[in-house]
A and B are shown apart, each in its own frame.
Chain A
Amino acid sequence: MSVLKADHISIQFGGLRAVNDFSIELNQRDLFAIIGPNGAGKTTVFNMLTGLYQPTEGTIYVNGKPMNGCAPHEFADAGLARTFQNIRLFGNATVLDNVKMAHTYKTKYNFFNMLTRTGNYHSEEKRITEESMHLLEVFELQDKKDFFARNLPYGEQRKLEIVRALATEPQVILLDEPAAGMNPNEIDNVISLIRRIRDDLGKAVLIIEHHMKMVMEIAEYIKVLDFGETISEGKPEYVQQDPKVIESYLGRRANDFRSK
Chain B
Amino acid sequence: MKYKEAGLVTFLQLLVYGLQLGSIYALLAIGYTMVFGIIRMINMAHGDFLMIGSYAVYFLVSIFFADQMIGPAIALLVVMIAAGITGMIGVGVERIAYKPLRKRSTISTMIAAIGVSLFTQNFFRAIPAIGPNPRMGPKLLVDKLFFIGPVQLSMARIIVIILSLIIMAILYAVVMNTKIGIQMRAVSCDKDASSLMGADVNRVISTTFFIGAGLAAISGAFYANSYPVLTVTMGATLGNKAFIAAVIGGIGDIRGAVLGGYIMGVIEIMISAVYSELAYGFSFVALIIILLFKPEGLLGKPMVEKV
Listed in ascending order, the chain A residues whose CB lies under 8 Å from chain B are 43, 47, 52-53, 84
Interface presence of B307 (CB below 8 A)? yes
Number of A-B contacts (CB under 8 A): 5
What's the Cα separation between A52 and B305 when bound, in Å?
Answer: 11
List chain B residues, Cβ under 8 A from A52: 307
Closest B residue to A44 by beta carbon equals: B307
Binary flags per residue of B289-307, CB closer than 8 Å to A gives 1, else 0: 0000000000000000001
Interface residues of chain B: helix, strand, loop or mixed (majority):
loop
Please tell me the size bucket of the interface on B. Answer: under 10
List chain A residues, Cβ under 8 A from B307: 43, 47, 52-53, 84
A199 to chain B, nearest CB (A): 30
Binary flags per residue of B266-307, CB closer than 8 Å to A gives 1, else 0: 000000000000000000000000000000000000000001
What's the Cα separation between A47 and B305 when bound, in Å?
Answer: 13
- Residue pairs across A and B with Cβ atoms less than 8 A apart, 5 shown, are A43-B307, A47-B307, A52-B307, A53-B307, A84-B307
What's the Cα separation between A191 and B53 when bound, in Å?
Answer: 66
B307 to chain A, nearest CB (A): 5
Q: Which 3 A-B pairs have the closest CB atoms?
A: A52-B307, A47-B307, A43-B307
B169 to chain A, nearest CB (A): 33
A44 to chain B, nearest CB (A): 9
Listed in ascending order, the chain B residues whose CB lies under 8 Å from chain A are 307
Closest B residue to A84 by beta carbon equals: B307
Interface residues of chain A: helix, strand, loop or mixed (majority):
loop
Closest B residue to A88 by beta carbon equals: B307
What's the Cα separation between A52 and B307 when bound, in Å?
Answer: 8
List chain B residues, Cβ under 8 A from A53: 307
What's the Cα separation between A26 and B87 when bound, in Å?
Answer: 63
What's the Cα separation between A147 and B272 when bound, in Å?
Answer: 58
A34 to chain B, nearest CB (A): 16
What's the Cα separation between A164 and B307 when bound, in Å?
Answer: 18
B41 to chain A, nearest CB (A): 22
What's the Cα separation between A47 and B304 when bound, in Å?
Answer: 15
What's the Cα separation between A53 and B304 when bound, in Å?
Answer: 12
B104 to chain A, nearest CB (A): 14
What's the Cα separation between A47 and B306 when bound, in Å?
Answer: 11
What's the Cα separation between A43 and B307 when bound, in Å?
Answer: 9
What's the Cα separation between A223 and B282 when bound, in Å?
Answer: 57
What's the Cα separation between A56 and B80 when bound, in Å?
Answer: 56
What's the Cα separation between A226 and B264 when bound, in Å?
Answer: 51
Closest B residue to A47 by beta carbon equals: B307
A49 to chain B, nearest CB (A): 12
What's the Cα separation between A53 and B307 when bound, in Å?
Answer: 9
A64 to chain B, nearest CB (A): 26
What's the Cα separation between A5 and B307 when bound, in Å?
Answer: 22
What's the Cα separation between A248 and B103 when bound, in Å?
Answer: 40
What's the Cα separation between A251 and B290 when bound, in Å?
Answer: 51
List chain B residues, Cβ under 8 A from A47: 307
What's the Cα separation between A172 and B102 when bound, in Å?
Answer: 41
What's the Cα separation between A47 and B307 when bound, in Å?
Answer: 8
Closest B residue to A72 by beta carbon equals: B307
What's the Cα separation between A84 and B307 when bound, in Å?
Answer: 8
A9 to chain B, nearest CB (A): 16
A174 to chain B, nearest CB (A): 13
What's the Cα separation between A107 and B280 when bound, in Å?
Answer: 46
B87 to chain A, nearest CB (A): 38
B103 to chain A, nearest CB (A): 14
B152 to chain A, nearest CB (A): 52
B112 to chain A, nearest CB (A): 21
A37 to chain B, nearest CB (A): 19
B245 to chain A, nearest CB (A): 30
Closest B residue to A46 by beta carbon equals: B307
What's the Cα separation between A127 and B307 when bound, in Å?
Answer: 32
A195 to chain B, nearest CB (A): 28
List chain B residues, Cβ under 8 A from A43: 307
What's the Cα separation between A162 and B307 when bound, in Å?
Answer: 17
What's the Cα separation between A53 and B306 when bound, in Å?
Answer: 11
What's the Cα separation between A40 and B307 when bound, in Å?
Answer: 15
A22 to chain B, nearest CB (A): 17
A53 to chain B, nearest CB (A): 8
